[in-house]
């Protein structure tokens, strides 16, 4: 009879051990989750990304998206020659045909209402292998993509450009990058 109670007490000790440590592990996991959600550590868990199309390069660390929807980023081009960028557009989606933004600056023009001040104006020259800072207002389905600090926005950047040596009427409109940025 003594032998059976020895097994019962050993089983009870194992059960107590597992329950105690199991509850402790759950509390730790819950605390880490709460810290991350409340941004207590001062760093967001949203990572900024920028995926360029061939011929272009973008640095995710250069992405700056204000809470009022203004985006700035450094864009580098590696095409065959210098280009004059005459328009920039930022939107959360493409149109039905997939070649232009669905909202906002849908024709990728240089009209001032689509840009934060100072705006693009007559364009920016980017030589192959060089970088420039581009800015634009980002648009979502319901208008300018404004949000609170810490939220994230995923979108597409288009540019309207012409190459030097070609007639100024020969413009190319191209999506140059997809990105995810955190409002700051």
**pLDDT reading at 122 higher than 70:** no
With bands split at pLDDT 50, 70 and 90, how would you rate the model's confidence at 121?
low
Q: Does the pLDDT at position 4 exceed 60? A: no
pLDDT digit string, tens, across residues 29-40: 888 777 666 666
* Cα–Cα distance measured from residue 162 to residue 84, given in angstroms and rounded to the nearest whole number: 5
Which element (helix H / strand E) includes 11?
helix 2-37
The DSSP line for 37-71 is HTTTTSS-SPPPEEEEPTTEEE-GGG-EE-TTSEE
Q: How confident is the model at residue 74 (pLDDT cuts 50, 70, 90)?
A: very high
pTM of the model: 0.71
pLDDT of res. 1: 45
Place 92 in a pLDDT band, splitting at 50, 70 and 90: very high
Q: Which two tokens stand for residue 103?
A: 């909202």
Determine the CATH number of domain 49-182.
2.60.40
Mean of the pLDDT values across residues 135-152? 90
**Structural domain spans, the chain:** 1-43, 49-182
CA torsion 15-19-25-29 (nearest 10°) is 140
């Amino acid at each position: 009879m003594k032998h059976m109670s020895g097994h019962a007490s050993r089983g009870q000790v194992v059960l107590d051990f597992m329950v105690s440590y199991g509850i402790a592990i759950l509390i730790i996991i819950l605390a880490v989750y709460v810290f991350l959600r409340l941004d207590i550590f001062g760093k967001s868990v949203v990572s900024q990304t920028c995926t360029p199309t061939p011929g272009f390069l973008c640095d995710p660390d250069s992405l700056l998206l204000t809470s009022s929807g203004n985006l700035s980023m450094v864009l580098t081009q590696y095409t065959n020659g210098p280009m004059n960028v005459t328009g920039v557009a930022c939107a959360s989606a493409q149109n039905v045909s997939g070649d232009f933004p669905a909202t906002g600056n849908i024709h990728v023009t240089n009209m001032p209402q689509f840009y934060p001040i100072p705006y693009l104006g007559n364009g920016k020259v980017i030589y192959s292998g060089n970088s420039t800072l581009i800015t634009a207002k980002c648009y979502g389905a319901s208008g300018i993509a404004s949000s609170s600090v810490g939220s994230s926005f995923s979108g597409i950047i288009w540019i309207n450009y012409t190459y030097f040596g070609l007639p100024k009427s020969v413009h190319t409109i191209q999506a140059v990058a997809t990105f995810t940025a955190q409002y700051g």
